Structure 1
Amino acid sequence: MSGTASAADASLLFIIGGGDQGDQIMQAGSKIMVAGTTDLTKLLLDREPHHRLHVTRNYFRQSRQADLSGYRVLVNLITEPEQNAKVLENLRKVLRGVPGRVVNPPEAVLRSTRDQVARLLAGIPDLIVPKAVRLHGGKTSIAARTLENAGLGPPIILRQAGTHTGKIVGLFTTVDETVAALGPGEHVATQFVDFAGVNGLYRKFRVYFIGRRIVLRHMIISDQWNVHVKDRVRFMAERPELVAEERVLFESDEPFAPDVRAVFQAVRDRMPLDFFGMDFGITTNGKVVLFEANATMSFFPLTPNHDPQFEYLKRCLAPAHNALRELLGLSPQVTRFTQVHLQSA
């Protein structure tokens, strides 16, 4: 669908994108979901007046471009830098000279790859930042030297660049195994840091930074180090004591120790993004182990299979909703809703 609209009836613009390899769009009714785009705006319940702009790799080949001069706040929802580098560069050009405030500007998103974030956050007291380097598939000798020069030894987690949701190539115990597993394209090698608790279980925490506010999203407990949301059903659901452990965090006025909160503050101060999530573990001696920090990680869904024992997870909705409205400069009251698509290739 294509078309144009002015900002006369909405001062808020949401920007979505298609992806460097072409649009990856799924449409369900009136909702459009685009790969590499955050779901955080679901917190607004689709009631806030806004327009939407779709930027693709071919955006400048279109006969007309949107006039963005009248928007007070422009929210970039394109969050994955590896798969959207060209689109984000297009967006950077689109936003050049636009007077409105840009939330999560494309320049900041482009600096949020795993290896760049590892360098950015290294040195924060009480934060263990595993070394992370980029490796190129098909160049095993160069990859081995890159690992050696970075001082990154086994065990090593290997991922294809731009992948998420716990997807990895593998965890390898030697450098030779690591470089032999390289496929085509770019990869990220990350030092594995064991974060198992005293009972041998692994706890993966997620907090969401929205403006200056920090919202606890979950603590998933697993018997495997590569903790993923599926472990909530596979492992936690049948263990009431683990469910209770997470529920206590959500019911606490302050779920984290002062040293951990100090780490959050330091991360917030260094990260250039206006909103982003952070996945991490906590060692038995209270150190925070960084897994990743970026704006791509999902906020929804909350409760798996509508399981009532996880209803406490909904406690994050109100603080996250309020934090997002505050970040976007929106009033507490929502009075009406409209949605206009400015352009879509």
Structure 2
Amino acid sequence: MLVSSVPNSLSALKFVGAFRRISMKACWASCRRSSALRSTARSISVSMSSASPRRCASISSSWRSLDSCASRGVQPRWLPAKSRKGAAFCFIRSRCARGEWLRSHHYWLIRTPGIGKFPAMPAAAGIAGYFQRLARNTGKQIFCTAALNSGRGRAPGRTLFTINRTWSGSAHCHNAPSMPASALATRLSDADIVGSFVARQLRIGREYYAAGGIDAAMAAYRRGLAAAGNEAPGCVSIEAISELHSNLGNACMVRGDLEQAASNYKAALRLKPDLVSCWCNLGNTHLKAGRPRDSITLYLHALTLNPGHWPSRSNLVHALIATQQYPGARALLTELIEERPQDGQLHHQLGKVCVELNELPSALASFQRAVSLNPRDADSIYWIGGVQQGMGDLDAAKAAYAQAARMQPLIRRPAAKSPADFRVLALYAPFAGNTPTEYLFKDAVYDTDTFALVDAGEVDIELLKKDAHVVINLISDADQAEAVLPLAADLAGRLGKPIVNDPLKIQRTTRDTVADLLAGIPGCRIPKVLRQKAGADLSAATLHAAFPSASSILARPVGTHGGDDFEKIDHPAGLAALLAQRPETDRYLIEYIDYRSADGYFRKYRFIFVDGEILPYHLAIGGDWKVHHVSTDMANQPWMQQEEEAFLAEPAAVFDAGHYRSLRAIRQRVGLDYFGIDCGLDGSGNLVVFEVNASMLVHAHNEEFPYKAPFVHRIKLAFDAMLRKFAGASA
């Protein structure tokens, strides 16, 4: 919207004569933009000289560019702060050839409705009319130029286009033959006019993008595309339009709008199919949207156009890792390292790939090489600690963790969009089980600071509290983290921020404590659990007292998950032999409950509880009592996949209202904000609880089971919404 304080009357100016023709030249300032755009002003100077006998006037203004001026956000320092926000300032002065100033007028170009209280001003045609009346009433030839006043003087205007208009004569008009318009000013074609405007918007958008003004850049790109779209084909170059789409796609990526980014990249490629960067960036949208296989195809196409395109090659590494094609990722990283051996990030990535391939010595060497190139690479030092821990060198691992923590107390992970919506402080323990967050934190709209609780040393509370809106405790294994959970609880209390998964509640999720906590829920069978201390004798009488009606007993070391070291014992002799294998380890002895279905298969269901919601994650079907999704034959059995998909789409068709009452009772008694449950149904339809904790894995590596993707994504969305709610509570 355009607002002005131009007076309605021009009575102060003497009427002299009329004009036969008025030629208006529109100019645009071409000068270096001030670093303080918020305080710059647009100035238009109008100079006059005595009129020729033909009464010809040349009016030069930038009225067609006023909206563009407003979009740049130029603002005067002398406006009140309240009115200054969102306003651009236009100062017009008119003078005659002798240098006397005839009149000054101020214009405010308002971008946001309701800012300031200024009288209404006519549209662009009204601005031109004002100069026409000024020329007619003064009888002088008017020269108007536009310049950007940045406090460093003015730069001359640059003519973009000319519009000629015929003005009716009067009694004072001489009857001399009219001059051709070209004698007054050069007329540019409509294509030049539109093309110049589009190019200007492209330049403005680039400047804003480079300065971090993403929204303003997007607005400029869209204005350019709108102008180009209103013209006939050929008026604006294909290169300019494709570049506008490409740049707008980049800005949308920064804002996290993947759909709009992809749409603009595709639009650019329809015009210019040879844009390698667009193919690469389109691949990035698919990778961020959780479609890494599609992104691989796009990266490879970019590389057919330019085999040496570095971003496509380096991003292809991420896509190969996302699809678990680790050998291919390792080969490509090795090739990239040969070209850039001093790039520490490449060595860091290779180390992570080697970890996935379980090549720990190679991983350790890669991380150490990364640190040799950048001794301040705390992230690689943390990984060195993890690898050494996996190799059994606990002393070296502790030293690495401590070194990394001293160097960089917080591991910072920026949001996938700018600016971030909020900031999360995550607490984790290197030597204890933690909630898996690789997928949950992926492409987050919030910044994440992770703090490693290594020991009970001094903690800089103010550093941890700075800018954090919510704290999430990732320390999730109550057995492995028995020593560190009290430290986490104390730290959470001192931070004074909303916290997800209070460490005090995590302490109550050991297998034996959960069995006691959930006892007595109607329709729910909780297996009895006995914790045997390392070295303690276990008599037959003790076993019978703990499991009076159990036909079999399950045994596993304390602090373990999954199927490793997890055995079913049917005879006392077998139990004695098992306990003799690792006498230094505490063990859980668990009552076995037969949950075989009528068709002879075992079915294990997993739900994830997220801030009150109960969301299905998977169904594992197998022929043995020890069922894990990864170890079943479900990838080769369509009927199993169909059953799992049906469960995910409609879990209430399997779990009735009574089961959901049991699940809600479990949620209430456990009291955590985020956790999971593995459960089954026995022959009588009772809910059988296997495991309840916050350590359960949620991941997106479901290429063999693509139907799972929307249900897994739903869990992530609920997780993000939970953090947003907690963050809002601290605002």
TM-score tier, shorter chain, comes to: 0.7 to 0.9
Deviates more, 1:118-127 or 1:145-154: 145-154
Query: 1:243 & 1:127 partners in 2: Cα distance?
Result: 27
Q: Given the superposition, is the C-alpha separation of residues 301 and 147 from structure 1 closer, same or farther in structure 2, using an over 3 Å criterion?
A: farther
Which of 4, 27, 39 is the aligned partner of 2:436? Answer: 39
Amino acid at match of 1:251: A
Deviates more, 1:158-167 or 1:180-189: 180-189
Which of 1, 9, 15 is the aligned partner of 2:427? Answer: 15
Query: 1:18 & 1:273 partners in 2: Cα distance?
Result: 21
Which of 619, 637, 642 is the aligned partner of 1:219? Answer: 619
Report what 2:533 is aligned to: 136
Which of 541, 545, 560 is the aligned partner of 1:149? Answer: 545
Which of 584, 588, 607 is the aligned partner of 1:207? Answer: 607
Amino acid at match of 1:48: V
Say whether the 8 Å CA contact 1:155–1:174 is kept in structure 2.
Answer: yes
Say whether the 8 Å CA contact 1:120–1:270 is kept in structure 2.
Answer: yes
Q: CA deviation at 1:40?
A: 4.1
Query: 1:168 & 1:214 partners in 2: Cα distance?
Result: 30
For 1:137, what is the secondary structure of its paired residue? coil
Query: 2:446 & 2:686 partners in 1: Cα distance?
Result: 43
Report what 1:323 is aligned to: 718
Which of 545, 557, 561 is the aligned partner of 1:164? Answer: 561
Identity of aligned residues (%): 27
Report what 1:248 is aligned to: 646
Query: 2:483 & 2:636 partners in 1: Cα distance?
Result: 45
- Name which structure has the greater RCO, CA cutoff 8 Å, separation 6+: 1
Cα deviation per residue 1:164-206 (whole Å; 9 max; x = unaligned)?
A: 0122342111344324422222100000000001111000100
Cα deviation per residue 1:81-133 (whole Å; 9 max; x = unaligned)?
A: 21122222221222233221111111111111111111111111111101011
Q: Given the superposition, is the C-alpha separation of residues 158 and 301 from structure 1 closer, same or farther in structure 2, using an over 3 Å criterion?
A: farther
Q: Given the superposition, is the C-alpha separation of residues 169 and 241 from structure 1 closer, same or farther in structure 2, using an over 3 Å criterion?
A: closer
Larger radius of gyration: 2
Amino acid at match of 1:77: L
Deviates more, 1:193-202 or 1:160-169: 160-169
Query: 1:41 & 1:323 partners in 2: Cα distance?
Result: 16
Amino acid at match of 2:652: E
For 1:97, what is the secondary structure of its paired residue? helix
For 1:78, what is the secondary structure of its paired residue? coil
Query: 2:483 & 2:662 partners in 1: Cα distance?
Result: 33
Query: 2:681 & 2:651 partners in 1: Cα distance?
Result: 19
Report what 1:238 is aligned to: 636
Query: 1:169 & 1:241 partners in 2: Cα distance?
Result: 28
Report what 2:505 is aligned to: 108
Q: Given the superposition, is the C-alpha separation of residues 41 and 100 from structure 1 closer, same or farther in structure 2, using an over 3 Å criterion?
A: farther
Query: 1:201 & 1:229 partners in 2: Cα distance?
Result: 13
Say whether the 8 Å CA contact 2:603–2:622 is kept in structure 1.
Answer: yes
Structure number having the greater strand percentage: 1
CA RMSD of the aligned region, Å? 2.5
Say whether the 8 Å CA contact 1:4–1:66 is kept in structure 2.
Answer: no
Q: CA deviation at 1:282?
A: 0.9
Report what 2:680 is aligned to: 281
For 2:484, what is the secondary structure of its paired residue? helix
Query: 1:4 & 1:180 partners in 2: Cα distance?
Result: 46
Cα deviation per residue 1:242-271 (whole Å; 9 max; x = unaligned)?
A: 211111112327342112111111111111
Structure 2, unaligned runs of 5 or more? 1-377, 379-406, 413-419, 727-731
1:3 aligned onto 2:408 = yes
Q: Given the superposition, is the C-alpha separation of residues 272 and 290 from structure 1 closer, same or farther in structure 2, using an over 3 Å criterion?
A: same
For 1:95, what is the secondary structure of its paired residue? helix
Query: 1:265 & 1:43 partners in 2: Cα distance?
Result: 23
For 1:79, what is the secondary structure of its paired residue? coil
Query: 1:239 & 1:76 partners in 2: Cα distance?
Result: 39
Amino acid at match of 1:98: L
Count of matched residue positions in the alignment of Structure 1 and Structure 2: 307
Report what 1:337 is aligned to: none
Say whether the 8 Å CA contact 1:203–1:222 is kept in structure 2.
Answer: yes
Query: 2:441 & 2:671 partners in 1: Cα distance?
Result: 23
Amino acid at match of 2:641: V
Query: 2:457 & 2:701 partners in 1: Cα distance?
Result: 38
Q: Given the superposition, is the C-alpha separation of residues 155 and 221 from structure 1 closer, same or farther in structure 2, using an over 3 Å criterion?
A: same
Query: 1:86 & 1:258 partners in 2: Cα distance?
Result: 40
Q: CA deviation at 1:14?
A: 1.5
Q: CA deviation at 1:146?
A: 4.0
Counterpart mapping for 1:266-305 below 5 A = 266-303=665-702
Structure number having the greater helix percentage: 2
For 1:75, what is the secondary structure of its paired residue? strand
Amino acid at match of 1:312: Y
TM-score (norm 1): 0.81
Say whether the 8 Å CA contact 2:527–2:591 is kept in structure 1.
Answer: yes
For 1:237, what is the secondary structure of its paired residue? helix
TM-score (norm 2): 0.40
Query: 2:661 & 2:455 partners in 1: Cα distance?
Result: 43
Say whether the 8 Å CA contact 1:39–1:299 is kept in structure 2.
Answer: yes
